[in-house]
Chains A and B, each alone.
Chain A
Amino acid sequence: MNDDELAAFLENGSDDEPGGTVAARELRDLLADETVWDDPSPGGADALLAAIRAEQAERPEQAPQRERADQALQPGAPSRPQAAPTPAHARRAHRPAWRRPALLAAAAVLLVVAGLTAGFLVGSGRNEAGGQEFAIAGTDLAPAASAVATVEDQPSGVRIELDVQDLGPAAPGTYYQAWVKGPDGLVTIGTFHMRGGDDVVDLWAGVDLERYPTLTVTLQQEGGGQESSGRVVLSGDIGSTSP
């Protein structure tokens, strides 16, 4: 099949037409597939540039390598190099990716020891107030970030206190959005920006977390619509009922 024949088949051929080869039929099928026509959400290039700038700002003397950024992606941020980090970020040492498991393990040990000393289990247990605590990890887009989610049933819904650490401030024009998700779908539980540094964020869920067991935080663009941007910076399981 030469170019003219392939063009004619792609334009006018049908699957039961004898002239069409398997390959040509596959190409025709792909042209009718919606994945070939759907586009990524807007703002992706700006988000990528912001992430690159964040990594470069931390390692100005190095060429880009496999080190991770401490800051979340910031779509909509100026594409020139970012201003100096906040004092909290400036104080924070960069953590190579290979150290994360060791750091997490050490942190888990410290949490358990501290929890036992204080009389309650921290990490995936209940605190003194009866709330259940879960560790939330930063994703590859914000590898230094972490959080502890304290989940507590209240008469009006499920209160989720998210104690967020080392998640960079959302750039102007962007914000963070928290979600719970499961087989039944995705439900938003609040938005925040972290421009004042590490903080405890109050979130509320009106759905049963047994059916929405995964908590995620995404970076959203103002005016970018109500759907998740897909830029997940924090993720963890909060649906387990076992202490």
Chain B
Amino acid sequence: MAEPIDDTDLVARFAAGDEAAVRAVYDRYARPVFTVALRILGDRTLADEAVQLTMLKAWRAAGSFDPSRELAPWLYTIARRVAIDLYRRDRRADVPTELEDDALAVVPLSFERTWEAWEVRAAVDQLADEEREVVRLAHLVGLSHREIAERLGVPVGTVKSRSARAHRRLAFLLRHVAETVE
């Protein structure tokens, strides 16, 4: 597992274009950015574009980033704005000229809960690989512990322990989100 990197130092090196820092920022945040963009845009191709534009804009603006702030909310703000711009651009391209109007570029339902989605994605990414796979199969695919055990070729008890450990970790990482929503 990679050593934790202090955000202040990371942003400074990211702003300077240091390769390790750029890769660290990308590896840590590209997936949450992608999740937010995909929820807003509903299109993988556009979401990929949003990830690239978000990271590039972040790098351009990193020199003015306030190191006392957290990096994740700052990146989230850029990502959301980029995705909204792409959404409006894409909508304008699809709408017949005579109907084209900014009023049509309304915020879709998928814009809701994008921050919560970012946080859930970031939390899921912090799980160990084997724990994340159990959580994915349980929640996304809808498999039971027994079915997961068969799929992965491991004892049911192993699946149960991985699942319990993963969900305890998720609860720890996401409790602040739950408190905010309530």
Contacts and interface: CB of A to CB of B under 8 A. Distances in A.
A139 to B, nearest CB: 8
B26 A45 contact: yes
Contacts of B135: 31
A45 to B, nearest CB: 4
A41 B135 CA distance: 22
Given A4-B171, A26-B113, A40-B34, A230 B48 contact: yes
A217 to B, nearest CB: 12
Interface string A68-85: 000001000001100000
Contacts of A18: none
Interface string A50-90: 01110110000001111100000100000110000000000
A174 B52 CA distance: 16
A145 interface: no
Contacts of A182: 94
B121 interface: yes
B35 A35 contact: yes
Given A3-B171, A31-B135, A214-B93, A230 B182 contact: no
Nearest to A73: B52
A116 interface: no
A47 B178 contact: no
Nearest to A141: B52
Contacts of B49: 141, 230-232
Interface in B55-106: 55-56, 59-63, 93-94
A32 B39 CA distance: 13
B175 interface: yes
A153 B180 CA distance: 58
Contacts, number: 166
B149 interface: no
Interface in A197-217: 213-214
A23 B120 contact: no
Interface in A3-26: 3-4, 6-8, 10-11, 21-24, 26
A228 interface: yes
A231 B48 contact: yes
A110 interface: no
Interface in A75-120: 79-80
A95 to B, nearest CB: 15
A228 B52 CA distance: 14
A141 B117 contact: no
Nearest to A218: B45
B46 interface: yes
A28 interface: yes
A28 B51 CA distance: 25
B164 interface: yes
Interface string A116-148: 000000000000000000000000110000000
Contact of B45 (A79, A214, A227): A227
A186 B170 CA distance: 38
B131 to A, nearest CB: 12
Contacts of A38: 34-35, 38, 44
A237 interface: yes
A47 B23 contact: no
A48 B136 contact: no
B139 A39 contact: no
Contacts of B163: 11
12 contacts: A10-B167, A11-B138, A11-B164, A31-B120, A35-B35, A35-B117, A40-B34, A49-B19, A51-B56, A52-B59, A65-B60, A229-B45
Interface of B: 15-17, 19, 22-23, 26-27, 30-31, 33-35, 38-39, 44-49, 51-53, 55-56, 59-63, 93-94, 113, 116-117, 120-121, 124, 135-136, 138-140, 142, 163-164, 167-168, 170-172, 174-175, 177-182
